Amino acid sequence: MANLTINGKNFTLDVEPDTPLLWAIRENAGLTGTKYGCGIAQCGACTVHMDGAAIRSCGVSVSEAEGKKITTIEGLASGDSLHRVQEAWIAQDVPQCGYCQSGMIMAVAALLNEKPKPTDADIDEAITNICRCGTFQQVREAIHTIASA
Amino acid sequence: MNQHVSPKMNRRAFVIGTAAVGAGLAIGLDIPFGGPAVVRAADGSPEIGAWVVVRPDDTVVIRIARSEMGQGSLTGLAQLVAEELECDWTKVTTEYPTPGQSVARKRVWGDFSTGGSRGIRSSQDYVRKGGATARVMLIQAAADAWKVPASECTAANSVITHTPSGRTTTYGKVAEAAAKLTPPADVKLKDPKDWKLIGKGVKRLDTADKTTGTMIYGVDVKLPGMLNAAIKDCPVFGGKVKSFDEAKITGMKGVKKVVKVGDTAVAVVADTWWHAKTALEALPIVWDEGDNAKVSSESIAKWLAEGLNNDQPAYVGNKNGDAKAAIAGAAKKVEAVYSYPYQNHATMEPMNATALYTADKCEVWCGTQNGEAAFAAVLEASGLPAEKCDVHKVMPGGGFGRRGQTDYVRQAVIIAKQMPGTPIKLLWSREEDMAHGRYHPITQCKMTGAFDANNNLVALHYRLSGQSILFSLRPDALQNGMDPAAFQGVAQSGEAAFGYSVPNLLIEHAMRNPHVPPGFWRGVNVNHNAIYMECFMDELAQAAGQDPLEFRRKLMGNHPKHLAVLNAVAEKIGWTTPAPQGVYRGIAQVMGYGSYVAGAAEISVTDGSKIKMHRIVASTDPGYVVNPAQVERQVAGSFVYGLSALFYGGCTVKDGKIEQTNFDTYNSMRINEMPKVETVMVPSGGFWGGVGEPTIGVAAPAVLNAYFAATGRRIRSVPLRDQNITFA
């Protein structure tokens, strides 16, 4: 059993302590917005926030996540009002297939928390998610739009 | 017991969940007196022809048969219908008919296949007619109600106006009456100059759910009582399962069943996928690997190299004059051998499908590029007739050609059939996805060019050796053994025609089919053909002592559309003006999928091995552009996909298996490596070309040619990581 705080709610989940957080989120908490892409912390599709920092949830065990505040893509909006990254993503039509975008949006949201006006170099360093459709151009433009708002 | 805790009900998950019980898009029929049948959508709203449903609140539901997988066709196809329908674009929504429904209605929605950049170009005519037909019926219904001639009425923005009297009504108000009318036998489509919506970069219709985590991909499907399956297929293609020791894992947490899947694979079914995967990894499996276990990249390369010899048989795909004789008597000859490796599609979402099998029904939920092929796989694997099967398409996390195949659908049904009544979600691990792709085919190419004493190119011999996709996947499409698609981009004519005139030309293919299963990988045969031809064009220009652009132009007089995109790219990148200090340029062009494309790159190179991309310029002439914003994204995305393959890709074979296992050994470009792509659209009109694939052909050669300009070194094999060349 594990007690996790996800999107401000407490979950008591029947999982082994070494279960990757990703699978506890998807299969036990039932929040499928966080995606599986590689399972080895390479692609970033499973990015969530743990105590505000962007982490790859496939590489973190449930036991490491206990007592931390986990935020997934489902918890990024405040009630009915979308997070500004989500709004920018919609306004600039960023996603193609969209599968990587939950992780991409979570990574960008964490970057903007830390650096409200990131330079291109900041973006290059912080955003290391794989997008096979190739949305990088729209991702970069949307980040700059948010930063200049 | 494992608990599935769901803090808030997800609307889309609910729709998919209920679809398990009823039909996804129930269609009812009522037959009024004296008129044809009215077909109704699930919510009771009437169809105005098969492509359009109009709700009383004026919402227009447009049916989409092809698959959206990120490429934007869903939005583009809706634009095509809406253009002719003259409806209010802000009230347009879309839905997928199922293949089962289509088959039951004599394939009223046509082909579901979404590959070969055909989504728009192969359905544009009949979907526009679908929109026009509905418009005519809606106007007629309004005219009938007003007792005026339909010719006095016009429609715009879902409002019908009787011009002489100024009376108006809306589509939603006349939909019921329109549905009862007999559709016109023929409708006239708009002149392209009158288009209002086609050609506009309107926003995609499917974006919002992709930003909130609510979009349902195959991997997210939830059905009541569903179990999860992980699978391992024999890592040596063609090998079989000899035995497995089920007892070793039956007591593991969550494990429900261990099943054989055909002759070649084993699956573990458990409460969660994590439990299934963990147990599968602990399951001892003995394989009968067979003779293919002796095959390696080296043995394949050796076999392909033999095919480059002129004494080996080859299929001729394009020919004029006598190239061999002209080369033998030429003043100067240039020769080079190139190669291109296997590539995995590596869609972000690994293969998966959810199947529910009962004695009298089999349904599958999955991302697929070809609903009808998936449907056929369900029929075959379940053994049930068409009326008892169906496929519910969900958003695929990427396709790139991989999801046109149905291996994963078949596997899911075979597993579900062994657990009747229990929905089974089969998900491949990334490692399984890397091991069991349908790989970009492997080839080598020997090219010989010959010049006369004045440095005019008088002959070109292009001899390809390697794998045929059609041989493996569509043998019925071979022509007397020849794979016509092998000549994509260098063909004599058609949608992938060669863009140069050479007096003595011989383009041929010595077919060699290793055991690694090939597939349609974004760009397909255009990829390697464009690299070979466009890099060799640069070699020829160098041998002739001419500028690569000018050298090409002289050979392209009879190919004005090829030349126009090349010129557009050259102008945009500023080919005739010097590049910034330390920056070098490369250029390339090709035709594929009915479109003309060109690309140019500006790069700098440090220590001969660190490439920094400064600029990419691309031009495309697809005839008509439906949505320029989406074309721009497809062009830019093609560079990311193509350059990822160039720099980081390449699947190698050892002991009959693919060696790469995940993104750590099969990497993909990140944002820091990719410059902005400047897209120049030069649609010349009068034809419909594809957009998703052709541009990938010019991505690698533009960069390789720039690399030569920077270093004086020719790179003739892919990937660059094998030569310790990477991004700066």
Interchain pair B670, A130: CB under 8 A: yes
Q: Residue B18: pLDDT above 80?
A: no
Predicted ipTM > 0.90: yes
The stretch B558-570 carries a mean pLDDT of 98
Q: By CB neighbour count within 10 A (0-12 exposed, 13-18 middle, 19+ buried), where does A124 fall?
A: middle
Nearest C-alpha of chain A: how many angstroms from B255?
14
For the domain that residue B266 is a member of, what is the CATH number? Answer: 3.30.365.10
A137 vs chain B: nearest CA distance in angstroms? 6
Q: Where are the alpha helices (DSSP H) in B167-307?
A: 171-179, 208-212, 273-282, 297-307
Facing A37 at nearest CB: one of B213, B214, B430: B430
> Which pLDDT tens digit goes with each residue over A113-131?
999 999 999 999 999 999 9
Contacts of B220 in chain A (CB under 8 A): 32
Note the pLDDT tens digit of each residue in B54-101. Answer: 999 999 999 999 999 999 999 999 999 999 999 999 999 999 999 999
- Asked, for residue B590, whether it belongs to a domain, the answer is yes
Nearest neighbour of A30 by CB, restricted to B1, B6, B217 = B6
pLDDT in tens, B319-378: 999 999 999 999 999 999 999 999 999 999 999 999 999 989 999 999 999 999 999 999
Residue B10 pLDDT grade (very low, low, confident, very high; cuts 50, 70, 90):
very low
- Enumerate the residues of chain A whose CB falls inside 8 A of the CB of residue B216: 32
Range(s) for CATH 1.10.150.120 in chain A? 84-147
> What domain range includes position B203?
31-209
For B236-281, write each residue's pLDDT tens digit. 999 999 999 999 999 999 999 999 999 999 999 999 999 999 999 9
Quick one: pLDDT at residue B21? 31
DSSP class per residue in B407-445: HHHHHHHHHHHTSTTS-EEEE--HHHHHHT--BBPPEEE
pLDDT, residue B263, reads 98
Point out the domain boundary residue: B209, B243, B271. B209
Note the CATH architecture for domain A2-75.
Roll (3.10)
Which among B5, B429, B637 has CB closest to A134? B637
pLDDT of B16 > 50? The answer is no
Q: What angle do CA B284, B352, B651 make, to 5 degrees?
A: 70
Output the tens digit of pLDDT for each of chain A's 149 residues.
Answer: 999 999 999 999 999 999 999 999 999 999 999 999 999 999 999 999 999 999 999 999 999 999 999 999 999 999 999 999 999 999 999 999 999 999 999 999 999 999 999 999 999 999 999 999 999 999 999 999 999 99
Alpha helices (runs of H) in B247-322, residue ranges in sequence order: 273-282, 297-307
Nearest C-alpha of chain B: how many angstroms from A21? 11
Q: Are B641 and A132 in contact (CB under 8 A)?
A: yes
Partners of B678 on chain A (C-beta within 8 Å) are none
Q: Closest residue of A to B345, CA-based?
A: A132
Which residues in chain A have Cβ-Cβ distances shorter than 8 Å to B8?
Answer: 74
* Arithmetic mean of pLDDT, B629-650: 98
pTM over 0.90: yes
**What 8-state DSSP symbol labels residue A58?**
G
Type of residue numbered B45: S
If you average pLDDT over residues B445-457, what whole number do you get?
Answer: 97
Computed over every residue of chain B, the mean pLDDT equals: 95
Enumerate the CATH 3.10.20.30 domain ranges in chain A, comma separated. Answer: 2-75
The total domain count for chain B is 3
Distance CA(A126)–CA(B671), nearest Å, equals 10
Interface contact flag, B272 A90, Cβ < 8 Å: no
What are B147's two structure tokens?
A: 């007792």
Options 3.30.830.10, 3.30.870.10, 1.10.150.120, 1.25.40.20; CATH for A84-147 is 1.10.150.120
B600 and B539: one domain?
yes
> CB neighbours (10 Å) of residue B191?
7
Res. B727: pLDDT tops 50: yes
pLDDT at B630: 98
Higher pLDDT, residue B657 or B21: B657
Mean pLDDT of B606-625: 98
Task: Specify whether B241 is located in the same domain as B381.
Answer: yes
> Are B96 and B42 part of one and the same domain?
yes
Model pLDDT, residue B19: 34
> Of the candidates B191, B209, B227, which is a domain's last residue?
B209
Q: Is 50 exceeded by the pLDDT of residue B17? A: no
State percent of chain B over pLDDT 90: 94
Average pLDDT over residues B521-529: 98
Per-residue pLDDT tens digits for B498-520 = 999 999 999 999 999 999 999 99
Q: Give the pLDDT band of residue B686 (cuts 50, 70, 90).
A: very high
pLDDT for res B15:
34
Nearest CB to A99; choose among B2, B348, B663 = B348
Are B97 and B109 in contact by the 8 Å Cβ rule? The answer is yes
Contact B3 A74 (CB under 8 A): no
Residue at a domain's end among B427, B448, B478 = B427
* Residue contact B69–A98, C-beta within 8 A: no
Spatial distance between the Cα atoms of B457 and B501, rounded to a whole number of angstroms: 10
Q: Kindly state the average pLDDT of the residues B647-662.
A: 98
The dihedral built from the CA positions of residue A29, A33, A36 and A41, taken in this order, carries a sign that is: negative
pLDDT at residue B37 in the model:
75
Closest of B346, B636, B638 to residue A43, by C-alpha? B346
